[in-house]
A and B are shown apart, each in its own frame.
Chain A
């Protein structure tokens, strides 16, 4: 039963290698030897076998995991909620290649790091034989031996002018075992809990009172942009366009299909303020205040005899209002970017069909 730990400190590689040779001659096996240093001296400098290691399973395992994550992002998520954009397929090759590259790289690096931690059994949670002079450049030879050979090993250390010899009972050092696995298990568990909180906040399971001034944010001004009037010689090239100073012309006939299209477009562009049934009660209407006016409902329009071209002009240009003190605000945004003139006439036909009811 090996029951003593000896640590001798030497100041150069040559002497250390001699010490190791001599200690081996006393019948000490390589498994009982450990060399500690502050420089990555290869084991062969001391005549020892290069310690084994096993990184490929970690790196490949990480790479496979990364490929699975990339597969999930590129093949599964477009399937869960398909959106067709830019004439691309749901899983086009070039972006898929980028995703596989990035996630395989990320997870293989994580795998290599985890391999480093696990193979070294980091973090070491027990006391180990050590001396602080090692980081000052001394090379430590740690030997675990039976009491009977202790004096001989100390003799070897002294013969080679050991700078310092530490001697302790082996029973004082508990084996590390799998303590580090419990540690990382606890870290992973804690990490999951910590990640859960932002997720719950994101899904508004934990509602946070968030104050912002979105209804009066300057961002609306940002949307206005530098648009100038179309040049004199400009020619509309996609159906009728609203030209400055001219009425919105070419109304569409109020056919059934036009009204149906208009209903769909109304839900998309108008209902958020004016309400799904055009009662002026959309989800955003609650944010309006009396001095800014509320969204108009269709009953308010009915019977007023507004011509289609008037509604066309409002939808296209929006409406600017004034508060009592004269500051201008956007009462209704311009939808010229969102709906084409044809769409606008569809919407007008839909509104008129509501009027008729």
Chain B
């Protein structure tokens, strides 16, 4: 009885049925779907490891370029530490400028990573499998960069420990009633949680790398994989701990960008003091974050040549996701705008007049990049066209960055007291630091792809082993084995 359905032979060896129509459909399914196209893990391990070990001239040129930008950034920062924040264009009314906008931006792009991993994992969405780690890596390094900006912004970095809950020399403790402290504890929680979550899913792949490398890599992976053998007990605990972390980290993810938005909305600055700011920021973060993940997916597919793993179906799924987030973002922006407009309070009117006045070019560019450009995502042909996706996602990055700059530096330039109105013009230091941190993010990412397998191989193998096809009448449809 047991024999009837039993499949002998490895899951990656599939027999082709004799019926030509069926065989054709199966062949088509293999081309379309990663999970229906299993190959021997030995071959795929080799593919992943070859990319990790490859450091050609292009790699070194990229490292050199990004590295020198990062070095210039570091030197600029040192200059600012010694000379004070006064060398930037910040002034008394616009005391938060690009540094805080960058903080929001980098936390924003870090949002999608954990969302894709944790929420889609909970919902058993199979398209997350090959992209989860590339996305989590953005979370990790995006948060690392974001974490730099409060430090850059405060100027006197040597007073940083005032934020740690220890008494300072005057017996003062950090004030937990400050929105800054809420934000700091949320970011700390999120970065630690994301790192643990990523590391746990990395252990089996590190064990794979340990088994197939030698020299320093073998020692490194051997230490990091903690002696993983893949016993049923180990796998079971890995699954359970990942589920626990997923459940905890999703609300934490929401709290992080809400915390960031509260830094702004807890003040009585017109344009900021709004209850919708928390969810509005979360949606905006997911929007820019998913766009950032798509950019990275294009990088992984085209530059790292992982076309086998990241296919059109993944771009299609992420494109739909992006489109939904765009609609949500527009809705929140409109709700915020119409409340201010209808209220007709002078300070808020002043802000709206400025957006359609002196800041109009930035404002309309932001709306164009965030709303008009992504509209083409309704077409599947666009969603699976990589150059088009790259352009759209870069537009969204620009649009969402402008949105943050407008909210932070723009709104601050119009406050309740007209004699405090002032315009902000970016100066060289903050420009260099902004570009430099982007380069540092790129550099870290590039080096990371040479150290860890950027594709979660075991998750792909799991999906392939659990996915199969079934004949219904004359059609072949895919079926998924729910092992739990």
A residues with a Cβ closer than 8 A to B are: 11-12, 14-15, 34-43, 45-46, 48, 50-51, 53, 55, 59, 72-74, 77-78, 80-81, 83, 85-86, 88, 92, 95-96, 98-99, 101-103, 105-106, 108-110, 112-113, 115-117, 119-120, 122-125, 128, 130, 132, 134-137, 198-199, 202-204, 210-214, 217-228, 230-231
Contact = CB atoms under 8 A, between A and B. Distances in A.
Interface in B144-192: 155, 158, 161, 165-169, 171-177, 182, 185-186, 188-189, 192
A218 B207 contact: no
B76 to A, nearest CB: 14
A120 B237 contact: yes
B92 A223 contact: yes
A137 B11 CA distance: 10
A40 B86 contact: no
B161 A202 contact: yes
A142 to B, nearest CB: 8
29 contacts: A34-B231, A38-B204, A38-B208, A39-B465, A43-B232, A43-B236, A53-B233, A74-B176, A77-B165, A77-B173, A98-B185, A98-B186, A105-B189, A109-B196, A109-B244, A110-B192, A112-B244, A116-B237, A120-B226, A122-B226, A123-B226, A125-B227, A135-B207, A198-B161, A211-B82, A213-B83, A217-B86, A220-B86, A226-B421
A112 B227 contact: no
B54 interface: no
B241 A39 contact: no
Contact of B175 (A35, A83, A120): A83
B161 to A, nearest CB: 5
A108 B7 CA distance: 42
B177 A92 contact: yes
Contacts of B462: 39-40
Interface of B: 6-12, 40-42, 45, 81-87, 90-93, 155, 158, 161, 165-169, 171-177, 182, 185-186, 188-189, 192-193, 196, 200, 204, 207-208, 211-212, 223, 226-241, 244-245, 248-249, 251-252, 255, 259, 419-422, 458, 461-462, 465, 483-484
Given A99-B185, A225-B420, A38 B483 contact: no
B41 A136 contact: yes
Taking each of B40, B192, B200, B235, which has the highest tally of chain A beta carbons within 10 Å of its own beta carbon? B235
A203 B169 contact: yes
A125 B419 CA distance: 69
Contacts of B174: 73, 77
Contacts of B458: 38-40
Contacts of B6: 14
B226 A219 contact: no
A36 B169 contact: no
B175 A73 contact: no
A199 B166 contact: yes
A109 to B, nearest CB: 5
A80 B173 contact: yes
Nearest to B158: A210
A132 B176 contact: no
B7 A136 contact: no
A139 to B, nearest CB: 9
Nearest to B171: A81
Contact of B461 (A12, A14, A113, A137): A137
B189 A102 contact: yes
A51 B289 CA distance: 38
B232 A41 contact: yes
* Closest A-B pairs by Cβ, 3 of them: A124-B227, A225-B92, A218-B86
Given A36-B231, A38-B204, A135-B212, 12 more contacts: A11-B10, A36-B229, A40-B238, A43-B236, A77-B165, A99-B182, A108-B244, A109-B248, A135-B211, A136-B45, A219-B84, A226-B420
Q: In the complex, which of the residues A35, A46, A211 has the most CB atoms of chain B within 10 Å of its own CB atom?
A: A35
Contacts of A77: 165, 173-174, 176
A48 B234 CA distance: 14
A198 B51 CA distance: 39
A120 B234 contact: yes
Given A77-B165, A105-B248, A40 B421 contact: no
Contact of A15 (B8, B12, B171, B234): B8
Contacts of B196: 109-110, 113
A86 B84 CA distance: 29
Contacts of B421: 226
A117 B244 CA distance: 14
Given A74-B176, A225-B420, A137 B12 contact: yes
Contact of B41 (A72, A86, A103, A135): A135
B86 to A, nearest CB: 3
A39 B188 CA distance: 32
A217 B230 CA distance: 59
A212 B84 CA distance: 9
A109 B161 contact: no
Nearest to A115: B241
A230 B420 CA distance: 10
Contacts of B41: 38, 135-137
B93 A12 contact: no
A20 B173 CA distance: 61
A98 B182 contact: yes
A39 to B, nearest CB: 5
A231 B239 contact: no
A85 B171 contact: no
A230 B92 CA distance: 17
Contacts of B158: 210
Contact of B241 (A80, A112, A213, A224): A112
A112 B12 CA distance: 34
A182 to B, nearest CB: 15
Contacts of A99: 176, 182, 185
B82 A213 contact: yes
A134 B212 CA distance: 11
Contacts of B226: 117, 120, 122-124
Contact of A88 (B177, B238, B420): B177
A222 B94 CA distance: 10
Nearest to A203: B169
Contacts of A46: 232
Most B Cβ at <10 Å: residue of A103, A134, A135, A227:
A135
A210 B241 CA distance: 45
B91 A14 contact: no
B239 A40 contact: yes
A254 to B, nearest CB: 33
Given A12-B10, A51-B233, A102 B252 contact: yes
B344 to A, nearest CB: 23
B233 A109 contact: no
Contacts of B251: 101, 105
Contact of B84 (A37, A204, A222): A222
Contacts of A130: 229
